């Protein structure tokens, strides 16, 4: 078992998590093989990746000439047909949703970095995994931390403590936040990530998504999931058990670690590129409660969780639309929350939604968020 080469399919290979996943493949060349690569429009990098990793299947939204011997398929076909021990979903937004469903329908193990799809359709994805014998593994650092803390435990969990760095604008007054530029928001103090997740980390919307993600991954009610500000991003999350004991997972902020944990689980691997913590240089680890007035996007996300039904899908779509507009300098940073709030306020939810209801709500919310941005609602 230990010497078997693991086959990986990577959806979203040119994004931040995708590139870091391929770094890991380079380190563990004799233990990992890439059988499928999929990307959006970054064709220049994609073609380099395809030449280097020689997958059997490739998928790219843009038109491009693939080297001989590589079959072009859709992302859904790749997720369901490729020979894979793990399908890594490193896409952003909703793109990865249907491919993830296809992989789970085939009973595959799916490692998810793309949290929006769990937020939009966590219930459906879990049902598919259970029914067809597949598994959903976390890549998000907080959820990887919780997963690691839960190893060997079968006692009740009394609380999950999700840590949040607070982003680059912690403590800034609203007046100053209105003038925040995209490049300021993209300058995260502790993590290097993709653009959408970096803006979501600055608004703390990301942490709201992570609460929903934790609820589905670990089967815990929302009342047992708390968010605390921990500026240093060294403790990636904590689990409190019924006897009051708390376990935490610590490491430097580096996504290579949770990615390789998901790939090789339950084995831990030595990666010489991951720096250990130097405690002689670390002077303090701090914790603060969240001030929800400073983070309206987080507050809105937590409200959408309580409402359930199609609200989480609308939440994700409104945020995705608003963040794209902010990155194009079309709206102010503070308008992201206003647009999400207006869109949620206009929604007529569908209870026990199926995939069609979720996708319809998503499309509706994108349109509504654009109208909100144009001040038409
Ligand atoms: Mg995270």
**In the chain, where are the structural domains located?**
6-138, 143-172+185-253+276-293, 308-377
The string of pLDDT tens digits covering residues 108-145 is 999 999 999 999 999 999 999 999 999 999 999 999 99
Ligand 1 centroid, distance to 23 Cα (angstroms): 20
| Helix, strand, or coil (residue 186) | coil
Can you read off the two tokens belonging to residue 176? Answer: 């100053």
Predicted pLDDT of residue 64: 86
Ligand 1 centroid, distance to 210 Cα (angstroms): 7
Non-local (6+) Cβ contacts of 324 within 8 A are: none
**6-138 CATH:** 3.40.50.720
Ligand 1 centroid, distance to 142 Cα (angstroms): 5
Ligand 1 centroid, distance to 252 Cα (angstroms): 13
Residue 163, strand partner residues: 228
Predicted pLDDT of residue 63: 84
Ligand 1 centroid, distance to 68 Cα (angstroms): 38
Predicted pLDDT of residue 139: 98
Non-local (6+) Cβ contacts of 159 within 8 A are: 224, 225, 226, 239, 240
pLDDT above 60: residue 174:
yes
The string of pLDDT tens digits covering residues 219-251 is 999 999 999 999 999 999 999 999 999 999 999
- 3 pLDDT tier (thresholds 50, 70, 90): low
Ligand 1 centroid, distance to 217 Cα (angstroms): 14
pTM, rounded to two decimals: 0.94
Ligand 1 centroid, distance to 236 Cα (angstroms): 8
Q: What is the 3-state secondary structure (H, E, C) of 10-42?
A: EECCCCHHHHHHHHHHHHCCCCEEEEEEEECCC
**CATH classification (class only), 308-377:** mainly alpha
Ligand 1 centroid, distance to 206 Cα (angstroms): 7
Predicted pLDDT of residue 2: 54
Can you read off the two tokens belonging to residue 284? Answer: 């303090």
Ligand 1 centroid, distance to 312 Cα (angstroms): 18
């Amino acid at each position: 078992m230990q010497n078997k080469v693991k086959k990986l399919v990577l959806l979203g290979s040119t994004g931040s998590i995708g590139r870091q996943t391929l770094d890991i493949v380079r380190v563990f060349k004799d233990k990992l093989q890439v059988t499928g690569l999929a990307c959006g429009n970054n064709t220049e990098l994609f073609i380099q990746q395809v030449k280097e990793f020689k997958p059997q299947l490739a998928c790219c939204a843009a038109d491009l000439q693939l080297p001989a011997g590589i079959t072009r398929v859709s992302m859904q076909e790749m997720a369901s047909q490729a020979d894979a021990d793990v399908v890594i979903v490193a896409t952003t937004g909703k793109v990865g949703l249907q491919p993830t469903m296809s992989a789970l329908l085939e009973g595959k193990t799916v490692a998810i970095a793309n949290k929006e799809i769990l937020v939009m359709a966590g219930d459906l994805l879990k049902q598919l995994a259970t029914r067809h014998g597949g598994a959903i593994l976390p890549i998000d650092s907080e959820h990887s931390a919780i997963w690691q803390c839960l190893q060997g435990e079968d006692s009740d969990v009394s609380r999950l403590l999700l840590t949040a760095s607070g982003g680059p604008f912690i403590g800034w007054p609203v007046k100053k936040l209105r003038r925040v530029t995209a490049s300021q928001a993209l300058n995260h103090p502790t993590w290097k990530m993709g653009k959408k997740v970096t803006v979501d980390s600055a608004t703390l919307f990301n942490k709201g998504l992570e609460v929903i993600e934790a609820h589905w991954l670990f089967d815990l009610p929302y009342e047992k999931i708390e968010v605390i500000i921990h500026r240093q991003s060294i403790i990636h999350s904590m689990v409190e058990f019924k006897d009051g004991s708390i376990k935490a997972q610590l490491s430097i902020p580096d996504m290579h670690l949770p990615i390789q944990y998901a790939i090789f689980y339950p084995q831990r691997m030595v990666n010489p590129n991951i720096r250990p913590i130097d405690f002689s240089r670390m002077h303090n680890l701090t914790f603060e409660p969240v001030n929800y007035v400073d983070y309206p996007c987080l507050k809105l996300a937590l409200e959408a969780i309580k409402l359930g039904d199609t609200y989480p899908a609308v939440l994700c779509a409104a945020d995705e639309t608003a963040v794209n507009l902010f990155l194009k300098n079309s709206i102010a940073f503070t308008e992201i929350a206003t647009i999400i709030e207006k869109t949620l306020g206009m929604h007529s939810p569908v209870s026990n939604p199926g995939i069609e209801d979720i996708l319809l709500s998503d499309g509706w919310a994108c349109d509504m968020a654009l109208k909100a941005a144009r001040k038409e609602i």
